[in-house]
Amino acid sequence: MNMRIIPTLSILCLFSVIVSAQGPQRRQKPADKSSAIDAQAMTALGNMSNYLKTLKIFRISSEVSRDEIVDSNMKIQKSASNEVSVQLPDRLYAHMAGDEQDLQFIYDGQTLTLYDTQGKHYAVTPTPPTVARTLDAIRARYGIVFPLADFIYMSADENLLQNITAAGYIGTSRIDGVECDHVAIRQPDVDWQVWIEKDETPLPRKLVITSKTQPTHPQYIALLKWDLAPAINNDLFTFTPPPDAVRIKFARVTN
């Protein structure tokens, strides 16, 4: 097998050298760029994005691995289980159980509460009237990037596909036993991969984000399970502080 790959690689490399050496082609930069965006990949992404926009209520359960860089570029992988319940346009609840923290986010359309269940601290902030704008606000004000925010934005009708500089269709892959389209995307500061169900519900089942602005290229990996008819009690979106909980403030991100 290896013996076959090496000549294939050399031929391909040679081919790319020949192509790039062809003078008249070199001015055709726009053509190069469009060829880096694969139509099949964009179709799969578009189907996913359009399907997410049809959702009004959903719960995502995810198992997350995230690289942390410690001690001169050594990578340590931290784990978390996140559960996010969304009722568009203005209700959200999330529980993030991680290695160091166990957090809850509660949003009722008017305020968002962050509660640390171990330290028993909570903070409340007034918010815009929709889930998507609230996620914008907490990121801009407090530097908080919400878990699985990308798919929540997509469900709230936001186009996240405009920054793509290259997209490739890798092939079919099974995630959790479900056949998926595996798509790889490049953006200026991240590369990401998404595995999209190959059926009438084109939901993302796995997400990998590689951060390119950091020299060690740390990765974030999330395996997702979707419940599109979750049993949600309205109390879920209301925070009642436990008697021993202490209210604190968010530190604002300043320029």
Partner 1 sequence: MKFRIFIAFLLVLGSFTVEAQRRGGGARAGAGGGAGVRAGGGTAVHAGGATYVNRDVARTSVRSNQDVTRNVNRNGDINRNINRDVDRDIGVHRDIDIDAHYDRWGHPVAWGAAAGVAAGVTAAATSAALGTSVAMLPSGCTTTIVGGVAYSQCGSSWYQPYYMGTTVQYTVVNAPQ
Residues 35-74, interacting with partner 1 (CB under 8 A): 35-36, 38, 66-71
Position 202 contacts partner 1 (CB under 8 A) = no
Query: Are 156 and 131 contacting, i.e. CB atoms less than 8 angstroms apart?
Result: yes
Choose, by CB under 8 A, the member of 33, 56, 174, 225 that binds partner 1. 33
Q: Which residue shows structure tokens 């007034």?
A: 126
Please compute Rg for the chain using Cα positions.
21
Choose, by CB under 8 A, the member of 46, 79, 121, 241 that binds partner 1. 121
**Identity of the residue, 228 or 251, whose beta carbon is nearer to partner 1 in the bound complex:** 251
Interaction residues for partner 1, span 220-249 (CB under 8 A): 220, 246-249
Query: Are 238 and 108 contacting, i.e. CB atoms less than 8 angstroms apart?
Result: yes
Stretch that binds partner 1, among 52-60, 196-204, 215-223, 229-237 (CB under 8 A): 215-223
Residue closest to 190 by CA, chosen among 172, 166, 169: 166
**Cβ 226 to partner 1 shortest distance, Å:** 18
DSSP for residue 216: T
Residue closest to 122 by CA, chosen among 255, 246, 254: 246
**Identity of the residue, 141 or 201, whose beta carbon is nearer to partner 1 in the bound complex:** 141
Residue closest to 90 by CA, chosen among 105, 106, 104, 109: 109
**Identity of the residue, 53 or 232, whose beta carbon is nearer to partner 1 in the bound complex:** 53
Strand partners, 181: 172, 196
**Identity of the residue, 233 or 254, whose beta carbon is nearer to partner 1 in the bound complex:** 254
**Cβ 166 to partner 1 shortest distance, Å:** 5
Q: What string marks each residue from 131 to 170 as x (binds partner 1 by CB under 8 A) or -? A: --x--xx-xxxxxxxxxxxx--x------x--x-xx-x-x
**Identity of the residue, 24 or 233, whose beta carbon is nearer to partner 1 in the bound complex:** 24
Count Cβ atoms within 10 A of the Cβ of residue 12 and give its class: 0-12 exposed, 13-18 middle, 19 or more buried: exposed
